[in-house]
Structure 1
Amino acid sequence: MSSADRSARPRLVYDDDCGFCTWWAEWAVLNGEFEPCGFSELTDAERDRLPDGWEECVHLFADGTVYSCGAATEEVLARTGTVPPTILGFLNGFADYEGLREDLYRKVADRRDLLGKIVSAEPPAKSR
């Protein structure tokens, strides 16, 4: 892990061509300590750290780890205090939780065009 990974704010990587994705990133930055990074801003080194099919979901570079898709979303929700870590710890204790989390993420991501139309009328709000 580089010293930059340990000292920098978590870097939230999102599809900056997607209205819903941009709204989500703005919400995360408003409610937490994240550095937003659209897909168009990724460096080659950052792109190399992402999993295959990286264009299909959100990612978070934090503490030397790359979280992707549902795991990235969960990490953002935990870091903003939106979902208490004790609840996430409890859920992660179930063998089926990871699959359920990723399925739920995919259901939302597959509807991001519709969701983008819904949230485009409203700027993201601070949750606290």
Structure 2
Amino acid sequence: MVAINTNYDRKSEVKAFDDTKGVKGLVDAGITEVHRIFHHPPESDVHYPINNSGSDSEATQFSISVIDLQGLDRLDCPTKRKEIVAKVGEASETWGFFQIVNHGIPVDVLEEIKDGVRGFFEL
């Protein structure tokens, strides 16, 4: 079990990070270790609250919509396609992004994409 430091003021550290021009500012400053705001406990169910109310007592936790494409290619099940399209629409309108699972894209292709994106942002 990981102990969480109750004196840790993540909001202040995120603000300080933003003030340094983000990741580019950290790289330009010659950082040698991953900044604390990017450390996450190993428990997968830990969420950091997003305070959108201005009051710590009313902080809300959010999670990314996960959309499963399993069965989308089945021609004998048109309701499945409508269901998936509705989920994509809802996630897009509500949050603007979502995660897709069971899309059929091979892992090696995804790794090549990540390498390309990483290379772009390292320019």
| TM-score when normalising by structure 1 | 0.28
Greater strand share, 1 or 2?
Answer: 1
- The structure with the largest helix share of the pair is 1
Q: TM-score normalized by structure 2?
A: 0.29
